Amino acid sequence: MAINRDYRCSTQVEQALTNNPYTIDPDSGLVESARQCSSPNQDQRPAGTKFDLVVLHGISLPPGKFGGPEIEQLFTNKLDWDGHPYFNEIRGTEVSTHILIRRDGEAVQFVPFGKRAWHAGESCFRGQLACNDFSVGIELEGQDDLAYDDRQYQTLTAVLGALITAYPELSARRIAAHSDISPGRKTDPGPAFDWLRLYDGLSHELSQDKSDPQ
Ligand SMILES: [Zn+2]
C-alpha cells in the first residue's frame, strides 16, 4: 500500500498541532500521553546506529491472561518466578520493550527510543542481525490466535504515525513481526494480527498529518 511520506517536511510546530495524543519528542525519545514505567533492561545502541525498523510483538502473562501486572513486572525484573508454573520456564529472563499497548489501548513506555530495548533476541531483518540494535519494539497484550482489541489498533496506529513523523529513518515499509525476524523461534504477534487494518489506519493517519495540521 502506498504511503505518502512527504509529511516528513512537517515542522515540529505542525506536528504539535495534530490531534495525535502520542506525539513524540525525538530528543528525549518519550511518548507524550504514554505512562512511563522505566525498565532496567536497556542499554546504549551501538555507536552510530540509527533505528529504522519497528518490530511488533504479542505477549500475555501468564499466557492467555490479560489485564494483570505480570507483563510490567517482567519488564522491570519484578516478576515472582514462583507465582505461576509458566514463569518457571522464563525464570531469570531480562527483557523489555519500548512500548506496551494493553488491551484497553493504554500505551506504557519502558525504554526511550534512543536506547536499546531487549525485545527481539536472536533475529535477522533483510540480512542484518541483532535487530535490537536498530529497532523499536512494540508489544501488544494478546495472543497469536485471538483478535487484538480495536483500541489497540487505534493506539498502535497513532504511536506508529508519531514515530514515523519523529524519526525520518522509520517508515511504514519497515514494520516487521517478531515472527518475521526470528522465524522458527517466535510466532508473535500471530495470525490474529490484522496487517491490512494496520496499513489502512496508518495510511489515513499519515495523510491526515500531511493535509490537515490543524
Ligand atoms: Zn515477540
Kindly list the domain boundaries of the chain, sorted by start residue.
7-209
Residue 155 φ then ψ, to 5°: -65, -45
Q: Go through the chain and tell me how many residues it has.
A: 214
Q: What is the pLDDT of residue 110?
A: 98
Say what percent of the chain tops pLDDT 90.
86
192 is written with which cell numbers? 490474529
Residue 14 pLDDT grade (very low, low, confident, very high; cuts 50, 70, 90): very low
Q: What is the pLDDT of residue 150?
A: 98
Cβ-based neighbours of 112, under 8 Å, separated by 6 or more:
28, 29, 30, 98
What is the tens place of the pLDDT at every residue in 161-172?
999 999 999 999
* 124: exposed, middle or buried (Cβ count in 10 Å: 0-12, 13-18, 19+): middle
CA of 14 to the centre of ligand 1 (A): 34
What is the tens place of the pLDDT at every residue in 28-66?
999 999 999 999 999 999 999 999 999 999 999 999 999
Average pLDDT, the chain: 91
CA of 121 to the centre of ligand 1 (A): 9
Neighbours of ion ligand 1 (CB under 5 A): 57, 178, 188
Query: Is residue 106 pLDDT above 50, yes or no?
Result: yes
> Is the domain covering 7-209 a CATH 3.40.80.10 domain?
yes
Q: What is the pLDDT of residue 209?
A: 59
Active-site positions? 139
What is the mean pLDDT of the segment spanning 88-92?
A: 96
CA of 119 to the centre of ligand 1 (A): 7
What is the mean pLDDT of the segment spanning 105-118?
A: 98
Question: Is-contact 186 125, C-beta < 8 A?
Answer: no
CA of 65 to the centre of ligand 1 (A): 16
Q: What is the pLDDT of residue 178?
A: 98
CA of 10 to the centre of ligand 1 (A): 32
Cβ-based neighbours of 105, under 8 Å, separated by 6 or more:
149, 151, 152, 154, 155
CA within 13 Å, CB half, 183: 5
Q: What is the pLDDT of residue 18?
A: 60
